[in-house]
Amino acid sequence: MSEPYVAVVAGARPNFIKIAPVLHAVDKIRPPFSTVLVHTGQHYSAELSDVFFQQLGIRPPDIHLDAGSGSHGRQTARILEAFESFLMASPLDIAAVMVVGDVNSTIAAALAAAKLGKPVIHLEAGLRSFDRTMPEEINRLATDAISDLLLVSEPCGETNLRAEGVPPSRIRYVGNVMIDTLVAQLGAVESKTGGDESAAPFALVTLHRPSNVDSRENLTAVVEFLVRIADKLKIVFPIHPRTKSRLTDFGLTERLERAGAILLPPQGYIENLGMMSRAMLVLTDSGGIQEETSFLSVPCLTIRENTERPSTISHGTNTLVGLDFVKADALVDQIIAGSYKKGRPIPGWDGRAAYRVVESVSEFLALRHVIPPLSEVRN
């Protein structure tokens, strides 16, 4: 009998950070299945893709779908079509498809797989912002609805899925694989940034959500807030390609430069983690950075009205400020004064989530008689 494969699909920057520990755990545990790594090509630049493969030790993709950028419909459709063709033509015995996170690649690959009767495993299932104006929320809802195994990263995931009527037998709480990558890379960060104590306190800024950057009014308000912070702290701002275009379109780049902000291209994983761990505060609209700052105990102000990651508020160092910059100004002062809240541990954010992912996938495949139970393989 040919060996069963799990197709692991990744397409955008945060996906790469999530699949790295899973692939490493498969190499270490050697379960009775193999993986085929599929890159959709949603992110294709060296700075949004290649650097993550290099720094996180991810093997080159086995398959590249070259989907590229485009409107949501076009991008999703291109991935859907290309991934379906791959699944139909592949000589491999693909027993399941694993998708991660909430990007367009996630729903596109899940949809292609489900329609071909391939079981779908969703890693980071159950997160909900309850805001359907976010493309990621649509991706999460639709992906979970057609997934067969839902691997949950934080406590709210289980609650949300149960409330939607998902049978508990399909849900496994595995914890947060993004924290696995962070824990694994901290050593590399320390060796690269050691002895840099002289650096002045700084605020690290990351922004890319369409709701913040595509509106002239909102992006101008964010920039004015950053200019005020620049009076108190150095601003370090690695700029996502989407944000870079909008800052240029709206004539805001110079305003930041005149305030002394350090504007950088998108950073590699290790460089970004280094800056995040040394920052006095982080201002962001990213999902993953809310989690990473919570784990690192670095204060995080999130420029969004909601979060699908509520543990970062209840347990972590995150506060939602939305576009309320009066509130944000007061919190910045609290952070500088050292009186801002401290974080506490979140269950399963322990650096070992990927092992639980491999165990859960093995158990899932064994129940479907695709592989023998792990206990038999180990004896």
When binding is defined by CB under 6 A, the residue of 42, 55, 129, 311 that contacts ligand UD1 is 42
Nearest-5° Cα angle at 295, 290 to 299: 60
Binding mask 95-134 for ligand UD1 (x = CB under 6 A): --------xx------------------------------
CB 37 to ligand UD1: min, Å: 18
Residue with tokens 């080159």: 60
Segment near ligand UD1 (CB under 6 A), from 41-49, 189-197, 297-305, 326-334?
41-49
When binding is defined by CB under 6 A, the residue of 4, 14, 126, 238 that contacts ligand UD1 is 14
CA–CA distances in Å: residue 15 to residues 144, 189, 360, 374: 16, 20, 19, 27
Nearest-5° Cα angle at 188, 182 to 193: 110
When binding is defined by CB under 6 A, the residue of 64, 84, 186, 241 that contacts ligand UD1 is 241
When binding is defined by CB under 6 A, the residue of 34, 36, 44, 352 that contacts ligand UD1 is 44
Does 238 interact with ligand UD1 (rule: CB under 6 A)? Answer: no
For ligand UD1, how many residues bind (rule: CB under 6 A)?
A: 18
Cα–Cα distance for residue pair 140/129, rounded to 1 Å: 10
CB nearer ligand UD1, residue 73 or residue 167: 73
Decide if 208 is catalytic: yes
> Taking CB under 6 A as the criterion, which residues in 194-223 touch ligand UD1?
208
Does 78 interact with ligand UD1 (rule: CB under 6 A)? Answer: no
When binding is defined by CB under 6 A, the residue of 10, 13, 178, 207 that contacts ligand UD1 is 13
Which of 122, 208, 315, 369 is catalytic? The answer is: 208
Phi, psi dihedrals of residue 119, rounded to the nearest 5°: -60, 140
Does 250 interact with ligand UD1 (rule: CB under 6 A)? Answer: no
Does 268 interact with ligand UD1 (rule: CB under 6 A)? Answer: no
Segment near ligand UD1 (CB under 6 A), from 44-52, 114-122, 187-195, 273-281?
44-52
When binding is defined by CB under 6 A, the residue of 65, 82, 125, 136 that contacts ligand UD1 is 136
Cα–Cα distance for residue pair 361/371, rounded to 1 Å: 10
Segment near ligand UD1 (CB under 6 A), from 8-16, 186-194, 294-302, 310-318?
8-16
Task: Answer whether 200's CB lies under 8 Å from 234's CB.
Answer: yes
Q: Please count the residues of the chain.
A: 379
Task: Answer whether 265's CB lies under 8 Å from 48's CB.
Answer: no
CB 98 to ligand UD1: min, Å: 17
CB nearer ligand UD1, residue 128 or residue 356: 128
Does 276 interact with ligand UD1 (rule: CB under 6 A)? Answer: no
Cα–Cα distance for residue pair 179/295, rounded to 1 Å: 8
Residues 6 or more apart whose CB falls under 8 angstroms from that of 107 comprise 76, 99, 138, 139, 142, 143
Does 45 interact with ligand UD1 (rule: CB under 6 A)? Answer: yes
Does 375 interact with ligand UD1 (rule: CB under 6 A)? Answer: no
The footprint of ligand UD1 (CB under 6 A) covers 12-14, 42-45, 48-49, 69, 103-104, 135-136, 208, 240-242
Q: What positions carry a catalytic annotation?
A: 208
